[in-house]
Amino acid sequence: MIPSTRMSRLIAILISTILFSPSPNPAFRQTKATASSSRLLQFHYRKPQDFKNTEANCGSIKPAACAPSVVHIAMTLDTNFLRGTIVAVHSILQHSRCPENIFLHFVSSNASHEPLIRYIFPSLKSRVYYFNPEIVKRKISPSIREGLEQPLNYARNYLAHLLEPCIQRVIYLDSDVLVVDDILKLWNTDLRTKTVGSPEYCHANFTKYFTPKFWSRNTLSSAFTNRLRPCYFNSGVMVIDLHKWRMSRYTEKLEMWMEIQRKERIYELGSLPPLLLVFAGNIEGIEHRWNQHGLGGDNVNGSCRGLHPGPVSLLHWSGGGKPWLRLDSGRPCPLDMFWFHYDLYEPHFTTKK
């Protein structure tokens, strides 16, 4: 965990340093074209160090994904966010005292991504799952931002059915996050009786996430009846009890709201509102340090934003601006330079020390 004052000092140091420094999943069948594409991409990334456990009490490491000492993390692999995913994984491994216990579950609709991940992180325990975009395409309605409509944004709704039944818990992370603390702390969150844990933001205007039509119809708005206090939560960081999810058939409940949205237009923001409809007011709140969100600015301009007050364990560039795009355009925000410290991307015309 990094206190906010120390984070500010680290960012300043990094900015000055950077500015002045010179096993394959059978679900995929790799074709010559995808293999060639992957080999080309490999030249754009450097390999980080090989991360090893630093403590004896990490527990035994077994090849099976279902070993009790394994920490399960799920992320998506999307071409437009691939660089962000690689940074997120790099940061997770770098700050974990038990990196060999981490198992990454990647969900992708593109077979060419798996060889690249295995090239960059050869020792990483991982598996890539194929997600058929047709599963949700007929259930997705247009959003205020094109990126929010992508089928892979809905893959988290299907993790309980994609992952092996023996896996009882998973951390879901968006591709635009940076972890600066030991992920084991988040993994050990006590969900008590809840299915999902995530930082809640009860000061946010909850009503704005749904249309007037939704609030005017009691048959729809009654979804929040009998919930103690439904609050906004950002679904880019969630700890999920997969057993409870499966038992309560939450995927079907989410799909029900997606179908209603197609017909009624009851919300605007892509894949988040269905999760609010099903879980808001019924999740286990997690410390805000695990989702310093909004660093991508608003959905239109992607303007620069600073950190919220308090300690920081995870930075999240939710919003319209992504650090890799702002860096490549030559207009980075201050916090983007901190993200750059973990960036493994190295095009032929760039030299990073």
Residue 189: band (very low, low, confident or very high) from pLDDT cuts 50, 70, 90 = very high
pLDDT tens digits for 65-114? 788 889 999 999 999 999 999 999 999 999 999 999 999 999 999 888 89
Q: State yes or no: pLDDT of 6 exceeds 70.
A: no
Please tell me the least confidently modeled range out of 40-49, 159-168, 198-207, 249-258: 40-49
Q: Say if residue 239's pLDDT is above 90.
A: yes
d(CA 140, CA 101): 36
Domains and CATH numbers, the chain: 4-19+42-340 (3.90.550.10)
19 has a pLDDT exceeding 50: no
Q: What one-letter code names the amino acid at 308?
A: H
Helix (H, G, I), strand (E, B) or coil at 57: helix
* Between 349 and 62, the higher pLDDT residue: 62
Residue 323 confidence (pLDDT): 96
For residues 117 and 45, the answer to whether their CB atoms sit within 8 Å is no
Q: Assign 15 a pLDDT band (cuts: 50, 70, 90).
A: very low
How does DSSP assign 151-219, residue by residue?
Answer: GGGGGGGGHHHHS-TT--EEEEE-TTEEE-S-HHHHHT---TT-SEEE-EETTS-GGGGB-HHHHH-HH
Q: Which residue has the tokens 């991409």?
A: 41
Q: What is the pLDDT of residue 1?
A: 64
Among 165, 300, 283, 171, which Cα is nearest to 236's?
Answer: 171
Q: 103-121 pLDDT, tens per residue?
A: 999 999 988 889 999 999 9
Q: For 326, what's the count of Cα atoms within 13 Å in the CB-facing half-sphere?
A: 26
State the pLDDT at residue 128: 96
pLDDT digits over 263-294, tens only?
888 998 789 999 999 999 999 999 999 999 99
74 vs 94: CA distance, rounded Å: 17
Write out pLDDT tens, residues 301-321: 768 999 988 999 999 999 889
Mean pLDDT, the chain, as a whole number?
85
Task: Give the pLDDT confidence of 202-231 residue by residue, as tens digits.
Answer: 988 888 889 999 999 999 999 998 888 899
Q: What is the pLDDT of residue 54?
A: 87
What is residue 350's predicted lDDT score, i.e. its pLDDT?
47
Q: What is the pTM of this model?
A: 0.87
Q: What is the pLDDT of residue 207?
A: 85
